[in-house]
Structure 1
Amino acid sequence: MSRLLGRLGGAAAAHPWRTLAVWLVALVAATGLSTAAGGTTHDDYDVPGIPSQEGTAFLEEHFPAMAGAGSRVVVHGDGRVPSDLLATLTDRLTAMPDVSRVAPPRLSADGDTALIEVRYSVPVTDFTGSEAVDAFTEAAAPAGQAGFTVAFGGEVPENVSAPSGTAEVVGIVAALLILIAGLGSLVAAGLPILVALMGLGVGTALVTLLAALTEISTIAPTIATMVGLGVGIDYALFLVSRHVEALRAGLSPREAAAHATATAGSSVLMAGLTVLVSLFGLNLSTLPVYASFAYATFATVGAVMIASITLVPAMLGLAGRRVLPRRERLGLVKPVVRAPRTARWAAWVGERPVRSALVAVVVLLALAAPTLGMRTWPQDAGTQPESKTTRVAYDLVAAEFGPGANGPIVLAMDASLAPGVAARLAAVPGVTAVAPPVTQGQAAVITVEPATGPQDERTTELVRHLRATLPDGVMVTGVVAVFGDISDRLAERLWVVVAFVVALSLLLLTVLFRAPVVALKAAVMNLLSVGAAYGVITAVFQTDAGAALVGLPHGGAVSSWVPILMFTVLFGLSMDYEVFLLSRIREDYLATGDAKGSVIRGLSSTGRVISSAAAIMVAVFVGFALDPDVTVKTTGVGMAAAVLIDATLVRLVLVPATMALLGRANWWLPRWVDRLLPEVRHHDAALIVSRSNESVLINK
């Protein structure tokens, strides 16, 4: 494989303008197709098999007016809200598209706040962009003009997502600064970012095209961009760093580009494939929204990976020796072939492997400890920024009507059961209000208001209690019940996803390095780093002090969408650094047979690059932690923490310590396994690069 990649890199470097032209045509064509035939993002929260789905299906068949999305309008002022204003507002809300029912206004005890429940005939996923909120704004204009505060809450307004682009800009600027500091050349620093953006452009267009063929979640493109931007810059950096090494060794730019593509390019290809394989695990969650995350991220990562192994060598060939620092090109300073600090650190860890490994494991377990207390819940308006209308509505409702008014529980049943059920509900502990039954034909709906808010564990317990004690035929549904069922389903499926991703990664690494011990060790270490990242997000998002650090008003449950998504993506990203580091160690070991020395030399030659790549990834993810969407924010914080932990405690301490302890046992392979495994040569003892009509042998 390395020889094929070497020829590919050499050809791209020899014909850079041709390669650039192909990519520009691909970008223009993909963008044009996505504009002409692309679809729009659309959420699908249907989860077959969960208890609340039965109630939803019953309402869709027998009571369509109560089966769609629910929203609310909150009107608040200094004095009592006039009844004529509320009548006008009710009429205007009823006239909005797809509205099936507007409940009579509910006044607070002092009369200064009115709550109007709006029910749609279509699910929340049928709305595109901000069209529903725009309709609310227009309908409620008279109240605003009269000097009242008007805020919108419920499913539809809370489902609106509007990425600002700030995260991408912050990540790119930070990455550029890190690259300039690490490479010492503006040309070399700008090249990885340019390549990543080119691949990201094609990947984004592919996601838009996928949206025309299948449902892609509204936040899936944001998650895909976050991952694609980070890995794209990292992959290009790996290639540029190896290219610079080859230039310093005396190779021409074209030869150096071929050498970098054959060596680092092989690692990039294997690392990228590991990420793609890990993404398949998302499909095992049984939630359509996760499948869309997998499709979008798969397309984006695939595009930036191909851009790295084709576009990077072309641009390196075009840049020539300008990727070297100017003072080095002029001969004013001598090049640093190997980072002396990293070499000293690797030697220090190699001499103290037991102590180093124990310290790293203890720290990782300490970071992971808060995970034992993790609570998960799909995000709601209670954790949104105070500037958002949904948060204003949430706070007003909680203050004026009680926290449970933000998460009513819906009971669907045959109309004959309604009188008896309504009488029993008033005596149920934890229930503060029971609305009169609403009937249509033979179907009835009773809305129950709990004493606690949607994220409170007591509300979830109330849902379970109602299901266990109410008569057969009474179905508990509504947003709170659906969210609780989704959290339970995700908690169950997490272990299936973990087993699948770990097993596939073990198989891939065993085939790649022909070393089952190394593969098993890598899987265990990645599990430790992911566990530590879980602990970090638990400590940050479930405590008031931690939440304040990331711009949230208070602590709450961790978003249910995050753990599975983080695991699959982070397991793949961790393998990036593992593949890059182990490739260099194995190259050295095959050449020298020195098990311990190869670890020290491999780490010293890659430590600086891995640290720079990790710093870039952390910067990109921290940028996304600024996103107002809580799911994106949590994912950004968790991934930044995981990459930081992985690149420091794991790659710089635990990997060299355990490999020094195991020695030659790292590369043990039973003969019968050796016969079964396919031969995948991702590196060679030497690389042949064509130059005109001759061949040049480059020893590594």
Structure 2
Amino acid sequence: MRLPGRRHSPLGKAPAMSAITRFVLRHRLLVVAFWIGLAVAGALAAAPATARLTTSFAMPGPAFAANDAIAARYHTGTEDPVVPVITVPAGQSVTDPVVADAVGRAFAAAARAVPGSRIVDYAGTRDPAFTTRDGRSSYALVTIPGFNPMTGTRAPAAIERAVRAASPPTWRVQVTGIQALADSQPRGRDPGVLVESLLGGLGALVVLLYVFASFLAVLPLVIAAVSILTTFLAVFGLTQVTGISQIVQFLIALIGLGVAIDYSLLVVTRWREERARGRTNRAAVQAAMASAGRAVVFSGLTVGIGLLALVVLPVPFLRSAGIGGVLIPLISVAVAVTLLPVLLDTVGPRLDWPRLRTESTASRGWSAWARLTVRRRGVAASAGVLALALLAAPALSLSVGEPRTGALAQSGPAHDALATLTGGGVPSGVLTPIVALADAPSAPAVASRLAALPGVVAAVAPASGGNRAAGTALVTVLPRDETSVPAGQDTVRAVRVAVAGDPAVLGVAGSGATTIDFAQDVYGSFPLMLTLITVATFLLLARAFRSPLLAAKAVALNLASLGAAYGAMVLIWQFGYGSRAVWGIPATGSITMWVPIMVFAFLFGLSIDYEVFILARMREGYDATGSTRAAVVTGIGRTGRLVSSAALILTLSFVAMATTPQTDIKILATGLGVGILVDATVVRCLLVPALVGLFGRYNWWLPVWAARVLRVPPSPLPTVPAAAPAHEPAERVPTGR
């Protein structure tokens, strides 16, 4: 039973936040100087920090161990090779001994063009798999040293020039390969992180002008700028002691923009509301921080918990992204609870002009929507669940890997070279060879055994071309299907099974083997990691809302939003229903292997932001009235516009992120953007009020024993319905049916 006259904060004890607010207001000059100093230092450190970010994708696993062993002996890795293609005039054949020798010399020039390269071709193997059906075209696999797929390489152009110079003028010389196809993709010019941030900031300004209808719109942007610059300063410090992935720069600039604005939006809106109630400016600041400020702290903690998914992974580049990424919400929270109240206390009233909109009353539209949703809560809940199920269903077909060649380029020289091969009966899988490291004497026998496997076009162990060193030999297996897609990965698994236990084989490498190991390392332990993060989030939210049921519902709906985001990525990118129309990129066939875990880490925390905003206000409303219906109407009426605006700002940030030329970043931005939109609409504005209405008084129940564990006041389950305010109908007591 609710205690008469007693008000409990929905997010814990007030004194801590009130003490922080009083401290920063007493020392406001020091606080402003502190953050200005950090922001200036961050502006100076942003460029050096970005330059120090690493592009390394090193990971544990047998494929990487094999790759390291090959690199130690051959000074090249096992990345997908550059593939030069020679086509001779009609009437000639690349299998003719004289022509074959000439083609071999031309391809050898390709290897010399990039010192340290190794080459596999028809001249070194005499295997017909390296020629087309008509006998007019032949190709070579040239693996270059020191290649990084994130930074790219100029090797394809250098190799093409070298082969062309060593070939008769009547021969046609082309170059293809995964990197060449990716480089020829129509990307446009990379606007850079700064330009993308400015685009996101301009979009946010438009939304903020609508929300505040005053010059207060600039205040959240100031908080975001300070947060982002300070985060870059912190990352610059981290780069001095550990490697940080280059992905972090996008996360800081764009996710940081959305998160910092979200937090500012919540606090400033509550400050305006308190002033509209007649409080003095100083009292309004303190009241806003005592309620909205605590919501910001809990929101930042939930984002941080989600990022633990990256920090605990055994993958260095993802772990570094998690370490760098966790700074975003933590620093944004620090700025929002220290600098923002100072600005509101000093310049806030002057910026709140011309005040075309006030917060004196809740939004009529959102309040009406909340009343309708509660009144038709069964229908609303069913519609929301059905919508989420339809959106999440494609996620069951999610496949991690790399985009297939058809998604990399649809025109250009590299595409034409690949068309020459595939038109001549050479499958595109040869662009992603599987490489086995074996003892030199046993290599021919190993190649013969692997050539007989299903899905294998050929397996060769040439003695030339830099394919033997230190008593070992490289066996190159040509798969029929690209190893970035499931059929090609099945071939990789078949190769591994075939050589398992063979002491003559020291390891199996290649991009396909790397993808399989990554998926196993990252996603194999995903259920356990998900369980730990879910439990931690549940405990945090149960304490925040003083309700196990609200916490459990929040976590469940968060996972549903995540499923919808995965489903959208599969539909738009893996199946291609949208990628071609928007970006001119056809179906990728799979989702870049690191993207799903990154989407989980950030979306899990970001979407709970809105749950905290809404449920904290509902809890506050219930503690004041004792009516679930009134709590829902108050919560949605007061936060509906805020949540929808915040979601729109985050979505605009992700739209800006999608302008980067890298396809994997576009996929990441799509997953995050769709997830936030679905979460703010279907989940928070439909399912949340409907389910709270369905659960009734059980939403607010916290047994005494659980309250002791969580160290918050208990909320006993009332035996009779609490009296509702005169303007709201009485709440029906659940019958248990």
Q: Residues 651-698 of structure 1, C-alpha deviation per residue, up to 9 Å, x if partnerless?
A: 1121112212222211212212222223499xxxxxxxxxxxxxxxxx
* 2:464 counterpart of 1:421: no
2:74 aligns with 64
CA contact (8 A) 2:74 2:469 kept: no
Structure 2 CA distance for partners of 1:22 and 1:392, relative to 1, 3 Å: farther
State the distance in 2 between where 1:614 and 1:459 align: 39
Name the aligned partner's letter for residue 372 of structure 2.
Answer: W
Name the aligned partner's letter for residue 364 of structure 2.
Answer: P
Listed as ranges, the matches of 1:334-349 within 5 Å are 337-349=361-373
1:177 aligns with 206
Structure 2 CA distance for partners of 1:410 and 1:88, relative to 1, 3 Å: closer
CA contact (8 A) 2:614 2:636 kept: yes
CA contact (8 A) 2:55 2:151 kept: no
Structure 2 CA distance for partners of 1:387 and 1:240, relative to 1, 3 Å: farther
Name the aligned partner's letter for residue 464 of structure 1.
Answer: R
2:37 aligns with 25
Structure 2 CA distance for partners of 1:142 and 1:516, relative to 1, 3 Å: same
1:52 aligns with 63
Query: What's the CA shift for 1:182?
Result: 1.8
SS for the counterpart of 2:271 is helix
Which of 234, 238, 248 pairs up with 1:206?
234
1:227 aligns with 255
State the distance in 2 between where 1:17 and 1:75 align: 68
CA contact (8 A) 1:382 1:395 kept: no
Listed as ranges, the matches of 1:300-449 within 5 Å are 300-326=328-354, 328=356, 337-379=361-403, 382-384=406-408, 401-437=426-462, 438-449=467-478
CA contact (8 A) 1:202 1:300 kept: no
Gapped regions of structure 1 (runs ≥ 5) = 682-700
Query: What's the CA shift for 1:343?
Result: 0.7
State the distance in 2 between where 1:357 and 1:479 align: 45
CA contact (8 A) 1:433 1:449 kept: yes
* 2:277 counterpart of 1:249: yes
Which of 33, 48, 52 pairs up with 1:40?
52
Which of 264, 286, 293 pairs up with 1:258?
286
State the distance in 2 between where 1:334 and 1:305 align: 25
Q: Greater CA deviation, 72-81 or 652-661?
A: 72-81
Q: Greater CA deviation, 403-412 or 205-214?
A: 205-214
Name the aligned partner's letter for residue 691 of structure 2.
Answer: T
CA contact (8 A) 1:89 1:140 kept: no
Which of 674, 683, 690 pairs up with 1:650?
683
Structure 2 CA distance for partners of 1:304 and 1:449, relative to 1, 3 Å: same
State the distance in 1 between where 2:131 and 2:222 align: 57
CA contact (8 A) 2:599 2:671 kept: yes
Listed as ranges, the matches of 1:396-545 within 5 Å are 401-437=426-462, 438-470=467-499, 472-473=502-503, 474=505, 475-545=507-577
Name the aligned partner's letter for residue 478 of structure 1.
Answer: G
Structure 2 CA distance for partners of 1:448 and 1:139, relative to 1, 3 Å: closer
Query: What's the CA shift for 1:149?
Result: 7.9
2:595 aligns with 562
Structure 2 CA distance for partners of 1:78 and 1:308, relative to 1, 3 Å: farther
State the distance in 2 between where 1:670 and 1:157 align: 61
Listed as ranges, the matches of 1:265-304 within 5 Å are 265-304=293-332
SS for the counterpart of 1:215 is coil
Q: Greater CA deviation, 78-87 or 106-115?
A: 78-87
SS for the counterpart of 1:213 is coil
Name the aligned partner's letter for residue 368 of structure 1.
Answer: A
Name the aligned partner's letter for residue 404 of structure 1.
Answer: G
Name the aligned partner's letter for residue 623 of structure 1.
Answer: A
Q: Greater CA deviation, 667-676 or 106-115?
A: 106-115
CA contact (8 A) 1:153 1:389 kept: no
Q: Residues 354-382 of structure 1, C-alpha deviation per residue, up to 9 Å, x if partnerless?
A: 22112111111121111122222134665
State the distance in 2 between where 1:611 and 1:204 align: 28
Structure 2 CA distance for partners of 1:622 and 1:253, relative to 1, 3 Å: same
Gapped regions of structure 2 (runs ≥ 5) = 1-12, 124-129, 715-737
Q: Residues 238-285 of structure 1, C-alpha deviation per residue, up to 9 Å, x if partnerless?
A: 112112212222334333333322221111111001101211122343
CA contact (8 A) 1:350 1:657 kept: yes
CA contact (8 A) 1:53 1:477 kept: yes
Which of 590, 603, 609 pairs up with 1:576?
609
Identity within the alignment, % = 29
SS for the counterpart of 1:453 is coil
Query: What's the CA shift for 1:573?
Result: 0.9
State the distance in 1 between where 2:413 and 2:14 align: 55
Instruction: Return the TM-score normalized by structure 1.
Output: 0.85
Name the aligned partner's letter for residue 241 of structure 1.
Answer: T
State the distance in 2 between where 1:36 and 1:456 align: 38
CA contact (8 A) 2:599 2:672 kept: yes
1:614 aligns with 647
1:690 aligns with none
Query: What's the CA shift for 1:224?
Result: 3.7
Instruction: Return the TM-score normalized by structure 2.
Output: 0.81
Structure 2 CA distance for partners of 1:590 and 1:645, relative to 1, 3 Å: same
SS for the counterpart of 2:577 is helix
Name the aligned partner's letter for residue 624 of structure 1.
Answer: M
Q: Residues 78-112 of structure 1, C-alpha deviation per residue, up to 9 Å, x if partnerless?
A: 97999999968855763646x34355698864798
State the distance in 1 between where 2:234 and 2:560 align: 34
Q: Residues 329-361 of structure 1, C-alpha deviation per residue, up to 9 Å, x if partnerless?
A: xxxx87652101111111111122222112111
CA contact (8 A) 1:195 1:307 kept: yes
Listed as ranges, the matches of 1:5-154 within 5 Å are 5-9=17-21, 12=24, 18-32=30-44, 40-48=52-60, 50-60=61-71, 63-67=73-77, 69=79, 71-72=81-82, 74=84, 91=109, 94=112, 96=114, 99-102=116-119, 109=132, 115-122=139-146, 124=147, 129=151, 132-133=153-154, 137=157, 153-154=177-178
CA contact (8 A) 2:561 2:675 kept: yes
Which of 708, 714, 717 pairs up with 1:675?
708
State the distance in 2 between where 1:593 and 1:372 align: 42
Kindly name which structure, 1 or 2, has the bigger radius of gyration based on alpha carbons: 2
SS for the counterpart of 2:438 is strand
State the distance in 1 between where 2:528 and 2:136 align: 51
Q: Greater CA deviation, 509-518 or 310-319?
A: 310-319
CA contact (8 A) 1:10 1:313 kept: no
1:689 aligns with none
CA contact (8 A) 1:9 1:258 kept: yes
| Corresponding residue pairs, total | 669
Structure 2 CA distance for partners of 1:491 and 1:422, relative to 1, 3 Å: same
State the distance in 2 between where 1:316 and 1:129 align: 44
SS for the counterpart of 1:285 is coil
